[in-house]
Amino acid sequence: MRAPRPLPLIAALSLAACDATSEPRGDFAPSTTPGGETTIHDRTSQAYMQPAPNLDPETLEAHLDGDLAFEAEFVTRPADINPGLGPTYNNVGCVRCHVRDGRGMPAVGAGPLRSHLLVRVSQPEGEPAAPGGSVPVEGLGLQIQDQSIRDATPEATVTVTWRISTVDYADGAQAELQAPELSITLPDGSPLPAHVMTSLRQPPPVFGLGLLEAVPEADVRALADPDDADGDGISGRPNEVWDPEVGASVLGRFGHKANTSNLRVQAAAAYFNDMGISSSIFPDPDGATDIDDETLDGAVVYTRTLAVPAPAESAAASAGAEHFRAFGCASCHVETLVTGRHEIAALSNQTIHPYTDLLLHDLGEGLADGRPDFVATGREWRTPPLWGIGLTHTVLPYSGFLHDARARTLEEAILWHGGEAEKAREAFRTASAPERQALIGFLQAL
Ligand code: HEC
Ligand code: HEC
Ligand SMILES: [Ca+2]
Ligand SMILES: [Ca+2]
Ligand SMILES: [Ca+2]
């Protein structure tokens, strides 16, 4: 049974009242400025790679310098340019994984892990690497580096195979889902010990992130409802993560489990863990660093100041936006946030439409990785932003959705939702084909 929905009627009436020359957008159409004044109009494969149009000349220059840092490819020491790769690593440059500043490519079919994705590891018992954090695995740490420079050995070989299942829509149509199964072999040929917890992760897009960093902490915390006091089945809670610069636990915002506090720590961790590049935040054991703070801050300012693409003009998007709300998607994928003050003026006081609450939600057994990360349980994930998601396959064909890129389409991504999102998924699964199509049309217009 469907709840009565008076709002579409009003929308239809107000549309009917418009004269034929006015905008075809209804009340539910996605905002044309999802990134506030940082919004750009670009629906090409370059859409995620543009500087925010409202940067002052000095910040634009820093952004363009940062672009070079993001594109830099590191090599084995000694070398004149970009030395210090490894000894073990996952890939050689930021943009090698965040392809065109978007996602990476999942392994296609069975085979060795493409080095765009990476595997986090930890074990249940022992001394955490940071207060309240995960416990490193002997010989592997918290992440498997499956590549190495010539004088070193990759930590393991990772192979992905796909387990296929099917879901029936209420109208009899069927969808096929695939989930990754990891097979990990250590250099001596032995399998990973059974107590090691693993989590496959894909790189998320990196545009619009400075805006998410600029949302006041109190506003994020105000969206949390850890005990589901309002009884809508959706809780949502913040991750509390160790910040190595502050030396304290703070709100987590970035990464699939919101296990990182801000973009500076995120970039330093990416340099260190993904490429073996040490910096002032994560130096080598002897205190040496591969890059200086200027390079680190270049990559940081770059990921802070990438523009958000505006949605496509689409008649279908309006009806789909209505379903997005009616199905309960917007309870987690929160449509509107307002940024506070940020050191980059262009990011301050912007009304944005990221479709995220930056909170952790239990999405059920199907998506669970069983690997806790700070406060996040093995079933919890941070709501990812959905702005620009309709451009995913324009930017990189065959890239996937969800934390491990398992979903080949937006439909598959929705069908994997469970736990707190089970009601929303069921609303989608039991909707008519035209309603489902309208919702997908809305997401594709973003
Ligand atoms: C080996 C591939 C790889 C490389 C190289 C890499 N990343 Fe990432 N990046 C990832 C993955 C995977 C995640 C998600 C990590 C997680 O949630 O555990 C991520 C997450 C991020 C995020 C958080 C995005 C969000 O929405 O929460 C930022 C920012 C980021 N990377 C920036 C960088 C920068 C800057 C560099 C270069 C210094 C870089 N990355 C290099 C794979 C990579
Ligand atoms: C209870 C909170 C919640 C609700 C309700 C919810 N989602 Fe999500 N959504 C999430 C989380 C958390 C993830 C990330 C899961 C993962 O990566 O494994 C996600 C992932 C997604 C993704 C993939 C994003 C990406 O970048 O790969 C899409 C698309 C999506 N949701 C759409 C929807 C739609 C459409 C609805 C309504 C039918 C919905 N969601 C309802 C929390 C929610
Ligand atoms: Ca190094
Ligand atoms: Ca490691
Ligand atoms: Ca609630």
Distance 196 CA to ligand 1 centre (A): 23
Closest CA to 354 of 28, 34, 101: 34
List own/partner pairs for 231-235 with CB under 8 A and 24 or more apart: 232/328, 232/331, 233/420, 233/422, 233/423, 234/328, 234/331, 234/332, 234/361, 234/420, 234/421, 235/361, 235/362, 235/420
**Tell me, what's the pLDDT at 18?**
37
Distance 296 CA to ligand 3 centre (A): 14
Rounded Cα–Cα distance for residues 438 and 314 (Å): 11
The answer to the question of residue 362 being in a domain is: yes
105 lines ligand 1 (CB under 6 A): no
Burial class (CB in 10 A: 0-12, 13-18, 19+), 320: buried
Closest CA to 30 of 333, 303, 256, 305: 333
Give the count of domains, the chain.
1
Residues around the ion ligand 4 (C-beta < 5 A): 140-141, 143, 145
**Tell me, what's the pLDDT at 26?**
55
The answer to the question of residue 423 being in a domain is: yes
How far from each other are the two terminal CA atoms of the chain, in whole angstroms? 29
The answer to the question of residue 219 being in a domain is: yes
The answer to the question of residue 137 being in a domain is: yes
Determine which residue's CA is closest to atom 22 belonging to ligand 2.
413
The answer to the question of residue 298 being in a domain is: yes
Rounded Cα–Cα distance for residues 25 and 18 (Å): 10
Radius of gyration of the chain (CA): 22
Query: Residue 405 contacts by C-beta under 8 Å, 6 or more apart in sequence?
Result: 103, 104, 105, 106, 117, 202, 399
Structural domain for 126, as ranges: 7-445
Rounded Cα–Cα distance for residues 102 and 325 (Å): 26
- Mutation probe of ligand 1 site: the residue of 96, 101, 202, 206 with most atoms within 8 A of C-beta: 206
Residues around the ion ligand 3 (C-beta < 5 A): 84, 276, 290
Distance 188 CA to ligand 4 centre (A): 16
**Tell me, what's the pLDDT at 17?**
36
Closest approach atom of ligand 1 to CA 300: 35
304 lines ligand 1 (CB under 6 A): no
Distance 181 CA to ligand 4 centre (A): 20
The answer to the question of residue 25 being in a domain is: yes
**Has this prediction a pTM greater than 0.85?**
yes
> Nearest ligand, CA of residue 104?
1
**Tell me, what's the pLDDT at 185?**
96
275 lines ligand 1 (CB under 6 A): yes
**Tell me, what's the pLDDT at 108?**
67
Cis omega (within 30 of 0) for bond into 180: no
* Tens-binned pLDDT, residue by residue, of the chain (446 aa): 344 443 333 333 333 333 333 344 456 788 999 999 999 999 999 999 999 999 999 999 999 999 999 999 999 999 999 999 999 999 999 999 999 999 988 866 667 777 799 999 999 999 999 999 999 999 999 999 999 999 999 999 999 999 999 999 999 999 999 999 999 999 999 999 999 999 999 999 999 999 999 999 999 999 999 999 999 999 999 999 999 999 999 999 999 999 999 999 999 999 999 999 999 999 999 999 999 999 999 999 999 999 999 999 887 788 999 999 999 999 999 999 999 999 999 999 999 999 999 999 999 999 999 999 999 999 999 999 999 999 999 999 989 999 999 999 999 999 999 999 999 999 999 999 999 999 999 999 99
382 lines ligand 1 (CB under 6 A): no
Determine which residue's CA is closest to atom 30 belonging to ligand 2.
414
Distance 234 CA to ligand 2 centre (A): 13
Q: What are phi and psi of 246, to 5 degrees?
A: -80, -30
Query: Residue 98 contacts by C-beta under 8 Å, 6 or more apart in sequence?
Result: 70, 104, 203, 204, 205, 206
Query: Residue 335 contacts by C-beta under 8 Å, 6 or more apart in sequence?
Result: 353, 355
**Tell me, what's the pLDDT at 55?**
98
**Tell me, what's the pLDDT at 29?**
84
